[in-house]
Amino acid sequence: MPKLIIVDRSGAEKELEATSGLSVMETIRDAGFDELLALCGGCCSCATCHVYVERGPAEARVPGSSDEDDLLESSGHRRAESRLSCQLILTEALSGLIVRIAPEE
Amino acid sequence: MAGRDTRDVIIVGAGHGGAQAAIALRQLGFARSVAVIGNEPEFPYERPPLTKEYFAGDKAFDRILIRPPAFWAERKIEMLLSTEVTAVDATAKRLSFANGGSLGYGALIWATGGTPRKLTCSGHDLKGVHAVRTRADVLQMMDELPAVTQVVVIGGGYIGLEAAAVLTKFEKKVVLLEALERVLARVAGAELSRFYEAEHRAHGVDLRTSVQVECIEEKDGCVTGVRLAGGEVVPADMVIVGIGIIPAVEPLIAAGVQCGNGVVVDELCRTSLPDVYAIGDCAAHSNGFADGATIRLESVQNANDQAITVAKAITGNLVPYKATPWFWSNQYDLKLQTVGLSIGFDRTVVRGDTAARSFSVVYLKNGRVIALDCVNSMKDYVQGRKLVDTRAEIDPELLADATRPLKDLIAA
């Protein structure tokens, strides 16, 4: 099971054993964090599950599609390592990922 | 702290709005007692997937839960499920339940949404006739689907169109009947309607407009077809009815609340009853994106943002509701995203090529942008929001030039 470290808006860290095949958004939600609105439920239609990938392979640190890239443009807090966490699907290869929940819009 | 049979805040309705109200109260530091009352057995779940990923079998139920079940107990949010509120005593500030119980409240948040509007013709309640509002509705349909070959969908709104798109994936014969002259007539302009009609037909849906349903025909209590005005009977072994919702507000009406099309609320989502708020699909509010008209909005955005407005109000932060409306609908490989409200538009501009299945419809009123419907056109959706928020006045010819990004037009 891939390991994931989540950093919330207060800076608190939590290490989790995640389930391969679930998105980072679902993993954060299921771990009891309530800072992500994730309003569209993970279908890449809003930008309310914005995170920063603070550690992880290069391909996890860039948007996975032009839709994701465009939606991230709507955030006032976009950084180079911004992702929509619903579009980041966990695999063994991503074990050790550190994601920080981006500030509220 | 409230007493044993009283809660400081009671939220009636465990959908998007009710769940978010509870979450937001705790996030804002509200430490007193909070109970959420839901009439379904499930913990709060997302409703949009009921006609999309969940119905299609692409997502299991636990993946559409708004929070994991343990979350609510951890946040000390009491969940009273399978519980129907039958009466509100606004003077004693007390709710009565169908199971005989009752609870007092300090503040009440009414977030019940609506119940699907039913056909009134004969056969409307036959086995095989479905609405799509709850998980139970979808489970029932999934249970029947293996034995179904032809489905008639009544209503060409988003629910009906999304359901039709999923059913074609199951390789069912689908007939979609719309009473008006075009689909999506209440929510979009003719360009979008025509585009979606053509898409559904290209996917094999027998889509008919300006069709009136006379009754549902049956044999041994099961649906066999839909009789149209004029006499034609369209065979069907399942009928899905998506003709809108009726706000679920009877107990509040009986308690004397001011009501029109939904419970009337002010900019803080307060109803005319003391300490009673209403949010989401059932709340009739004056919306700045509709020129202040009193409307109900049936969307996740509205439920969520009104929930936050109320949670703030209850914790002493009085911030009027004025969130930008947005909405999405997924059908086939088409991603529709809407920003703003097109109500009252007097002109439309199409950006991009409908034949290429990537375009936007820009809605103007008195020369100003009030809404966009964007199909497979994420950039326009993202950049169009600012045009809607500022009610930008932009030359329609510039808007029509899809090679010019919308963000470049703001200063133009």
Q: Which residues of A touch B (CB under 8 A)?
A: 22, 26, 29-30, 32, 34-35, 37, 39-41, 43-46, 66-67, 70-71, 73-74
Q: Is B337's CB within 8 Å of A45's CB?
A: yes
Average the pLDDT over B133-157 and give the result. 97
| Amino acid (one-letter) located at B199 | E
- Given a cut of 90, whether residue B2 has pLDDT beyond it is no
Alpha carbons B91 and B10: distance in angstroms, whole number: 15
- Given a cut of 80, whether residue B411 has pLDDT beyond it is no
Q: Is A34's CB within 8 Å of B75's CB?
A: yes
Average the pLDDT over A29-49 and give the result. 93
Residue A105: pLDDT band by 50, 70, 90 thresholds? Answer: confident
What is the distance between the terminal CA atoms of chain A, rounded to a whole angstrom? 32
Nearest-CB residue to B378 (from A32, A41, A70): A70
Give the burial class of A48: count Cβ atoms within 10 A of its Cβ; 0-12 exposed, 13-18 middle, 19 or more buried: buried
* Mean pLDDT over the full length of chain B: 97
Q: Are A51 and A31 in contact (CB under 8 A)?
A: no
Span A41-100, pLDDT tens digits = 999 999 999 999 999 999 999 999 999 999 999 999 999 999 999 999 999 999 999 999
Residue B293: pLDDT band by 50, 70, 90 thresholds? Answer: very high
Contacts of B350 (CB under 8 A, 6+ apart): B191, B359, B360, B361, B362, B400
Span B22-51, pLDDT tens digits = 999 999 999 999 999 999 999 999 999 999
Q: What is the pLDDT of residue B410?
A: 83
Alpha carbons B60 and B387: distance in angstroms, whole number: 38
**Tokens matching residue B240:** 């899905």
Q: What is the pLDDT of residue A102?
A: 97
Nearest-CB residue to B67 (from A29, A67, A73): A29
Query: What is the bridge-based pairing of β-strands B358-365 and B347-353?
Result: antiparallel
Q: Quote the percentage of chain B above a pLDDT of 90.
A: 98
Query: What is the bridge-based pairing of β-strands B173-177 and A97-101?
Result: unpaired
CA atoms within a 13 Å half-sphere pointing along the CA-CB vector of A51: 33
Q: Is B68's CB within 8 Å of A32's CB?
A: yes
> A-chain residues within 8 Å CB-CB of B307?
none
Nearest-CB residue to B74 (from A32, A67, A73): A32
What was the ipTM of the complex prediction?
0.95
- Given a cut of 70, whether residue B412 has pLDDT beyond it is no
Q: Is A67's CB within 8 Å of B378's CB?
A: yes
Span B239-274, pLDDT tens digits = 999 999 999 999 999 999 999 999 999 999 999 999
Average the pLDDT over B338-362 and give the result. 97
> B-chain residues within 8 Å CB-CB of A67?
335, 378
What letter would DSSP give residue B209?
-
Q: What is the pLDDT of residue A30?
A: 93
Q: What is the pLDDT of residue B368?
A: 97
Query: Which of B26, B328, B380 is the best substitution to test chain A (most A C-beta atoms within 10 A)?
Result: B328
Largest CA distance in chain A: 34
Q: Is A74's CB within 8 Å of B74's CB?
A: no
Span B48-98, pLDDT tens digits = 999 999 999 999 999 999 999 999 999 999 999 999 999 999 999 999 999
Q: Quote the percentage of chain B above a pLDDT of 70.
A: 99
Distances (CA, A) of B6 to B79, B407, B408: 14, 52, 56
Query: Which of A19, A28, A43, A45 is the best substitution to test chain B (most B C-beta atoms within 10 A)?
Result: A45
Q: Which residues of B touch A (CB under 8 A)?
A: 23, 26-27, 46, 48-49, 52-53, 63-64, 67-68, 70-71, 74-75, 300-301, 304, 326, 328, 330, 335, 337, 378-379, 381-382, 385
pTM (2 d.p.): 0.96
Q: Which among B381, B350, B378 has a CA at the least distance from the CA of B363? A: B350
Q: What is the pLDDT of residue B1?
A: 53
Alpha carbons B52 and B36: distance in angstroms, whole number: 26
Other C-beta atoms closer than 10 Å to the C-beta of B132 total 20
What letter would DSSP give residue B45?
B
Alpha carbons B172 and B289: distance in angstroms, whole number: 40
Q: Is A32's CB within 8 Å of B48's CB?
A: no
Between CA B257 and CA B90, with CA B9 as vertex, the angle to 5 degrees is: 30
**Tokens matching residue B31:** 């430490």
Average the pLDDT over B135-142 and give the result. 97
Q: What is the pLDDT of residue B47?
A: 97
